[in-house]
Structure 1
């Protein structure tokens, strides 16, 4: 009985004993049964108990029902990436005393943790995840949502295999938030598993289409297009990028437009069209905050395109690399710091320092972060370097990264 739960909640909030609440109304035994929903109770008794607690039961019941609706809308706004709406609903929820009721609190904590991950407050999310790990008797839905949250947290921290482990534990029969397919696609993309990345991105696209989220549809298509352009048998047309870029312009999605323009620049580098590539990277930087990873990524690509184009002086390119190093250190983006240092040594034509830095600083970091997209190409670089030096043992060490990727368990005669 809902009335019993509400009575118990306010009684405990006011640190009132059951016998004190029931004085002149009913016995403490009867209060206990009411709170546990084990007995029928008259409206008159409920009114008297409510009056003593200083609450209006009808209002509290309406609020309780409204809380469930608000929590669902809050979660939906996070999935749809509606920042302002999510913040407004959070404020509404925080003003309601019933938020601390045990059954509401669990749902609230799950969505709150998802919210913290959404706005980039990983420390708060980590604290709540630790709290939720102590919960018992989770419902199938609660368990799946917690797995989704843990997976996103691992994804943010570049622990891609661990993220996949959590995502794969989700029960889709009870957890209707298929957004997790998108997060699976991101994890597989980061591990350079192109087929699985495309597969899950396509599944997430269908979900985002069903919920009519242009923003999320664009994100899913961005992954799909990115995987296709890695295929040596497929060359994405500019029109595919332009369609998505125009959509981002129409909906004011500057970050997404910066990413797409950056990705088009990468595609132009692969096609050897360095002038167009540098234009794309420059456009991406112009609409990005310099203190973000997308700006740093565009700057790194800009240096690469300009270097291949051969129209800028070494001094100008070194200035760009130094700017990249300074910005990377300022916002603690270690991976980009390594990229820009490698550009610096390459521009200085200091091959000895380049390979020393790659082997002792950059490559160990790529390994630590499980960054397969960087491990594979730089394994080849280091393999070739050591083979040229006649260091066969060292060369074989880097060859092992590629051997493991293509290892098969097939049995041959």
Structure 2
């Protein structure tokens, strides 16, 4: 009985015992049954208990119903990336005392975790998950939502294989949120599984299109485009697709999506040797982000890479950018970019021996362990070439064998 839950909540929040509340109204035993919903109770008795608690029970029941609706709306706003609405709903929810009723509060904590992940404050999610796991009612919906949250958290940590393992356990028959397909697509993209990434991004796109969420439509389309444009040849159609997505993001005022598209377009130009165009795009991406943003480092590293390849920027300027990147990466405790900017510094200082020693002993083991396939394979080739030039066949094979094993095919040829 909802009335009993509300009475118990306000009694405990006011520091009253059952004897304090029931004195002269009903026995402790009867009050205990009311609070647990084990007995019918007259309106007169409820009115007396409400008066002593100084609450309007009818208004509190309406508040409870409103809370359930607000929680659902908040979760939907987070899923569809209606960021302003999500922040507003969070503020409204936290002003309602009944939010701390256990069943509502557990739901609030689950959604709060997703909220922090959506605004890239993953560190705030970790203690919430620990609290949830100790208290959460093991319903199928809650269990699957918690899997989704843990999967996204693994993505933020760069543990892509772990993310896939967790996200693949989600059962949509209990957790009707196909948004998780997008996170699966990101994870598969990160381990260079293009077909599966495209497949799940397309499933996510269908969901976001039905929901008319333009931010997530752009996210999904961009992810699909990245899978298609991974081929070695430069395709003018891909350039047009990027420009169309940038225009869409600008028309809808989607700053975050615009940044992501420009950043990925810059990498497309960089990979195909258009270094001037790439550096200009990376510079534009940097100008739209705060240096404190977790995305800033990626664009700064890309900008440095493009300028270095272009060969028209002074070594002094390049060193300044590399040192700035390393300082920011240390401040953000971002291990990947600490490694990448250190490698840039060694290369700019022409310290080949230190570069490859650091790559082999520090950077490569970390990158390989986190499952970043594209970067791992890049450095496997670098280390293979280096040791082949040195005549150290044994060490060269150490880095060649994983590539051979991965691309080995069983064919019925003679």
Return the TM-score normalized by structure 2: 0.90
CA RMSD of aligned residues (A): 2.6
Aligned twin of 1:209: 209
Aligned twin of 1:160: 160
Aligned twin of 1:7: 7
Aligned twin of 2:382: 381
Q: Per-residue deviation at 1:65?
A: 0.5
Aligned twin of 1:61: 61
**Alpha carbons 2:106, 2:136 under 8 Å: kept:** no
Aligned twin of 1:256: 257
Aligned twin of 1:361: 362
| Change in 2 beyond 3 A, CA 1:325/1:107 | closer
Q: Per-residue deviation at 1:150?
A: 1.2
Q: Per-residue deviation at 1:131?
A: 1.6
Aligned twin of 1:51: 51
| Change in 2 beyond 3 A, CA 1:15/1:296 | closer
**Alpha carbons 1:228, 1:234 under 8 Å: kept:** no
Which range moves more in the overlay, 256-265 or 402-411? 402-411
| Change in 2 beyond 3 A, CA 1:69/1:410 | farther
Provide the secondary structure at the position in 2 that maps to 1:192. Answer: coil
Q: What do residues 70-90 of structure 1 show as CA deviations (whole Å, max 9, x unaligned)? A: 111111222233333223222
Q: What do residues 135-183 of structure 1 show as CA deviations (whole Å, max 9, x unaligned)? A: 3641111111111111111211111122222211211012122211111
| Change in 2 beyond 3 A, CA 1:98/1:323 | closer
**Alpha carbons 1:204, 1:220 under 8 Å: kept:** yes
| Change in 2 beyond 3 A, CA 1:60/1:295 | closer
Aligned twin of 2:96: 96
Q: Per-residue deviation at 1:274?
A: 2.6
Structure with the larger RCO, 1 or 2 (CA within 8 Å, 6+ apart): 2
Provide the secondary structure at the position in 2 that maps to 1:134. Answer: helix
| Change in 2 beyond 3 A, CA 1:140/1:303 | same
**Alpha carbons 1:258, 1:294 under 8 Å: kept:** no
1:194 aligns with 2:200: no
- Distance (Å, rounded) in 1 between the aligned partners of 2:44 and 2:411: 77
**Alpha carbons 2:270, 2:278 under 8 Å: kept:** yes
| Change in 2 beyond 3 A, CA 1:262/1:125 | closer
- Distance (Å, rounded) in 2 between the aligned partners of 1:399 and 1:130: 41
Aligned twin of 1:87: 87
Aligned twin of 1:178: 178
- Distance (Å, rounded) in 1 between the aligned partners of 2:36 and 2:164: 41
1:271 aligns with 2:272: yes
Aligned twin of 1:287: 288
| Change in 2 beyond 3 A, CA 1:160/1:33 | same
Q: Per-residue deviation at 1:386?
A: 1.4
Aligned twin of 1:124: 124
Q: Per-residue deviation at 1:330?
A: 3.9
Q: What do residues 276-320 of structure 1 show as CA deviations (whole Å, max 9, x unaligned)? A: 222222222232323434333333333333333333344443443
1:77 aligns with 2:77: yes
- Distance (Å, rounded) in 1 between the aligned partners of 2:116 and 2:71: 15
**Alpha carbons 2:286, 2:299 under 8 Å: kept:** yes
Structure 2: segments with no counterpart, 5+ residues? none
1:108 aligns with 2:108: yes
Provide the secondary structure at the position in 2 that maps to 1:9. Answer: helix
Q: Per-residue deviation at 1:379?
A: 0.5
Q: Per-residue deviation at 1:233?
A: 7.1
- Distance (Å, rounded) in 2 between the aligned partners of 1:19 and 1:350: 78
**Alpha carbons 2:229, 2:238 under 8 Å: kept:** no
Aligned twin of 1:317: 318
**Alpha carbons 2:182, 2:200 under 8 Å: kept:** yes
- Distance (Å, rounded) in 1 between the aligned partners of 2:133 and 2:410: 37
| Change in 2 beyond 3 A, CA 1:305/1:93 | closer
- Distance (Å, rounded) in 2 between the aligned partners of 1:200 and 1:13: 46
| Change in 2 beyond 3 A, CA 1:23/1:92 | same
- Distance (Å, rounded) in 2 between the aligned partners of 1:39 and 1:213: 46
| Change in 2 beyond 3 A, CA 1:391/1:66 | same
1:144 aligns with 2:177: no
